[in-house]
Amino acid sequence: MDQRSNEPHAVAASMSLPATPFRFCLRYLRRYQAVVWLMVVLEGGQSACSILLPYAIKQIMDGVSAAHAAGIDAWSAVSDAFWLFAALNLGVVLCSRASGTVLVMLGPALRRRVRRDLFSYLQLHSQRYFLSNFAGSLANRIAEVSMGVSQVIWTTLFDFWPLVISFSVSQYLLASVNPRLALVLGSWMVVYVSVCFLLARRCRRYARDYAAARSAVSGTIVDSVSNIMTAKLFARRDFERDHLEGYLDREVERARATFWFMEGIRWFQFVAAFILMLAVIGYALRLWSAGGMSAGQFAMAASLSLLLIEQARGLSRRFLEFFEFVGNINDGVGMIVRPHEVVDDAQAGPLRVAAGEIRFEQVDFAYNVERPVFRALNLTLRAGERVGLVGYSGSGKSTLVNLILRLFEPQRGRILIDGQDIKLVTQESLRAAVAMIPQDPLLFHRSLKDNIRYGRLGASDDEVVEAACLAYAHDFIVAMEDGYDALVGERGVKLSGGQRQRIALARAILKASPILLLDEATSALDSVTERSIQESLEHLMQGRTVVVVAHRLSTLAHLDRILVFHEGRIIEDGSHASLLAAAGHYAHMWTMQAGGFLPEHDASAP
């Protein structure tokens, strides 16, 4: 069926998925069209064979009575009917097992497909999107949608469709005996299905409240467990338990309300079945005793209604589940299948970096319109220049770096790399040309080796170790129990901030791209380790255009050029020496830090 990715690269540039549950399911029905039709036939066949069994029994009974009456051999009178009976039973077995086999093949492949498509779509979302949606809930949504799509299809194929077949066939059979009998059963069915549908719709509200109460309980437990240290430190164990108690009470209340309603639905179903049995059997008995039908026909009418009742019993529940699955698909698709914010231009080609000049032209940027970060920013970072950015927290340094990476888009103006507008090149090629070390790098829950190799997937083990040595990470890595094979926990929580920064540095060393951005990349390191790394950084910066954001001014002092940011504007621009000589903002900050924070200028430092 659907084997390993057919077009792994084709999805990269742009992708579209339907955004409504109906069209979303349809997409996958179409994709597996042939198999789905096969299942429609098999399920229809199974259900037709089952519902025809009472007909075969009628033929047998009538055959036997006729033979008795005529005094001839019963077997010769009923052998055809018997073979029909046998064939129908065989049909049930073959159709149902064939359909089971197809399901085993189709089910997992379908869910895999849905997950892969949603994941690929999700990957193309912007930074902003991921800042406002939690990773855990996105993963849940993907799982729910893939489950929902298959369940909606299965419920339709295995529950609704067979019921339609059974109903139509039994209507036909009964009508051939007595049209009034068919009318009784037909009207019952119409009323029953409509009431089930309406009840299920009303039950949805209860089910939703109950689900919300359940997830509130899980949410509270997760919150308490994540903050377990705080609870311990403040000796709040009892408080946390009491806090949970309220949510548990609510869950119990909601659960009871839902179950009461469902119990009511069951009452309806049992009573309806009771009425149907009485009506059909009573009416058929009257016909039979009046000579209007044979014993076989009577038996057929009775078993048809029994079979239909059996099939229609859980109908409300199935409607309810169906609504729930559709609701899940709707929620998941609504969250994931939104238009992508940052997309490649239709004509986008790869970025070609020869020198590495970065130019901002009249750039306006705001995360939200009321609070602009940059207004008409003009800035040129010459090729091979090493530029430091300083400024108070919130002055827009990280934003500048994010814009170079096109993680966000300026509202106006252009950003050019070697004369090419970054909006008109592919995002992949742009990010391949730029290495970035963020302030708080996160690591995959994979081995350290794999985490470093992420910078260049083809790197050999020796190259990985070499990069780790340059980043001063080798020593602490080999001191760990599993060395380069150590797993570092989700997001790298088992490493210190400084250790993670050094892994990120090693990764960037392997990537060796022409432009390098360091956003507080060494801020978590002590001054001594930072000093040692400085040498590797010098080496790494050779022949590249480099932007270094740092609060610690000694990190920047040796760079070619320093830009001082204030509220999104560049208020000073020059080398360390020239800015000191200008005795402005930078010189002021320098004296402040030299006084308090910079041990290398402190006479008492070791």
Residues that bind ligand ATP (CB under 6 A): 131, 367, 373, 391, 393-399
Pick the closer one to Mg ion by CB: 328 or 402.
402
Phi, psi of 605 (to 5 degrees): -65, 150
Pick from ligand ATP, Mg ion, none: which does 501 bind, CB < 5 to 8 A by kind?
none
Q: From CA 258, how far away is CA 252, in angstroms rounded? A: 10
Shortest Å, Cβ 206 to Mg ion: 48
- If residue 366 lies in a helix (H) or strand (E), which one and from where to where? strand 358-366
Q: Distance (Å, rounded) from C-alpha 178 to C-alpha 200? A: 33
396 binds, among ligand ATP, Mg ion, none (CB under 5 to 8 A by kind): ligand ATP
CB 555 within 8 A of CB 380: no
Which option in ligand ATP, Mg ion, none does residue 131 bind, with CB closer than 5 to 8 A by kind? Answer: ligand ATP
The residue nearest Mg ion at its CB is 398
The least distance separating Mg ion from the CB of residue 214, rounded to whole angstroms, comes to 39
Cα separation, 469 vs 484, in Å, equals 12
Q: Of these partners, Mg ion, ligand ATP, none, which one is at the site of residue 16 (CB under 5 to 8 Å by kind)?
A: none
Contact 74, 63 (CB under 8 A): yes
Residue 583 beta carbon to ligand ATP: minimum distance, rounded to whole angstroms: 23
Give me the least distance between CB of 11 and Mg ion, in Å please.
Answer: 32
Using only C-alpha atoms, the chain has a radius of gyration, in whole angstroms, of: 36
The total of other beta-carbon atoms located within 10 Å of residue 298's CB is: 20
- Residue placing its CB nearer to ligand ATP in the complex, 394 or 419: 394
Give which of ligand ATP, Mg ion, none residue 346 binds (C-beta under 5 to 8 Å, depending on kind).
none
- Tokens matching residue 474: 């080798």
Q: Which residue, among 491, 479, 481, 477, has the nearest Cα to 448 in the 3D structure?
A: 477
Cβ(95)–Cβ(45) under 8 Å? yes
- Compute the least distance from the CB of residue 521 to Mg ion, in Å: 11
Which residue, 157, 151, 149, 153, is CA-closest to 46?
Answer: 157
Residue 355 one-letter amino acid: A
Query: Which one, 313 or 552, has the nearer CB to ligand ATP?
Result: 552
- Asked if 523 touches Mg ion (CB under 5 A), the answer is no
Instruction: Report the residue number, 21 or 568, with the smaller CB distance to ligand ATP.
Output: 568
Q: State the residue for tokens 């507080």.
A: 520
Among the listed ranges 250-258, 267-275, 394-402, 589-597, the one in contact with Mg ion (CB under 5 A) is 394-402
Contact 41, 47 (CB under 8 A): no
For residues 358 and 515, what is the distance between their CA atoms, to the nearest angstrom? 9
Among Mg ion, ligand ATP, none, the one that 258 touches (CB under a kind-dependent 5 to 8 A) is none
DSSP string of 170-196?
Answer: HHHHHHHH-HHHHHHHHHHHHHHHHHH
Minimum CB separation of residue 388 from ligand ATP in Å reads 13
Quick one: what does residue 429 bind among ligand ATP, Mg ion, none, with the CB cut-off 5 to 8 Å set by partner type?
none
CA angle 37, 42, 47 (to 5 degrees): 125
The CA distance from 441 to 436, in Å, is 10
Least distance (Å) between residue 367 CB and ligand ATP:
3
State the minimum distance, in angstroms, from the CB of residue 441 to Mg ion: 14
Looking at the Cβ atoms of 523 and 536, the one nearer to ligand ATP is 523
Nearer to Mg ion, 240 or 519 (CB): 519
Residue type, 13: A
Least distance to ligand ATP, CB of residue 597, Å: 15
Dist. CA 554–CA 561, nearest whole Å: 13
Cβ proximity to Mg ion: between 166 and 399 the closer is 399
- Rank residues 396 and 514 by Cβ distance to ligand ATP and give the closer one: 396
Distance in Å, CB of 238 to ligand ATP, minimum: 38
Four-residue CA torsion sign, 137, 139, 143, 148: positive
> Could you tell me which of 397, 395, 393, 431 has the C-alpha nearest to residue 549?
397
The whole-angstrom separation of Cα 481 and Cα 495 is 13
* Residue 146 interacts with which of Mg ion, ligand ATP, none, CB < 5 to 8 Å by class: none
Nearer to Mg ion, 171 or 398 (CB): 398
45 binds, among Mg ion, ligand ATP, none (CB under 5 to 8 A by kind): none
Query: Taking CB within 5 to 8 Å according to partner kind, which of ligand ATP, Mg ion, none is near residue 51?
Result: none
Return the residue matching tokens 């019993």. Answer: 313
Stretch that binds Mg ion, among 35-43, 86-94, 106-114, 392-400 (CB under 5 A): 392-400
Type of residue at 18: P
Closest contact distance (angstroms) between CB of 517 and Mg ion is 11
> Nearer to ligand ATP by C-beta: 25 or 389?
389
The correct pick among 398, 402, 501, 545 for binding Mg ion (CB under 5 A) is 398
Q: Residue 140 phi/psi, 5° resolution?
A: -60, -45
**Sign of the torsion angle spanned by Cα atoms 357, 359, 365, 371:** positive
**Does 555 interact with Mg ion (rule: CB under 5 A)?**
no
**Which residue, 418 or 519, is less far from ligand ATP as judged by CB?**
519
CB under 5 to 8 A by kind: which of Mg ion, ligand ATP, none does 311 bind?
none
Residue number, 347 or 393, with CB nearest to ligand ATP? 393
258 lines the binding site for Mg ion (CB under 5 A): no
Span from 213-221, 330-338, 391-399, 525-533 in contact with Mg ion (CB under 5 A): 391-399
DSSP state letters, 379-397 = EEE-TT-EEEEEESTTSSH
Smallest separation (angstroms) from Mg ion to the CB of 127:
14
Residue 556's closest CA among 598, 515, 584, 595? 598
Q: Which is nearer to ligand ATP, 341 or 475 (CB)?
A: 341
CB atoms near residue 491 (< 10 Å): 15
Q: What span, in angstroms and rounded, lies between the C-alpha atoms of 332 and 151?
A: 15
Please report how close the Cβ of residue 362 comes to ligand ATP at its closest, in angstroms.
19
Among 32-40, 86-94, 146-154, 397-405, which window interacts with Mg ion (CB under 5 A)?
A: 397-405
Tell me the C-alpha distance between 68 and 65, whole Å.
5
Nearer to ligand ATP, 318 or 397 (CB): 397
Bridge pairing between strands 386-391 and 545-549: parallel
Which of Mg ion, ligand ATP, none has residue 179 at its interface (CB below 5 to 8 Å by kind)? none
What's the min distance (Å) between Cβ of 371 and ligand ATP? 7
Question: Residues in the site for Mg ion, rule: CB under 5 A?
Answer: 398
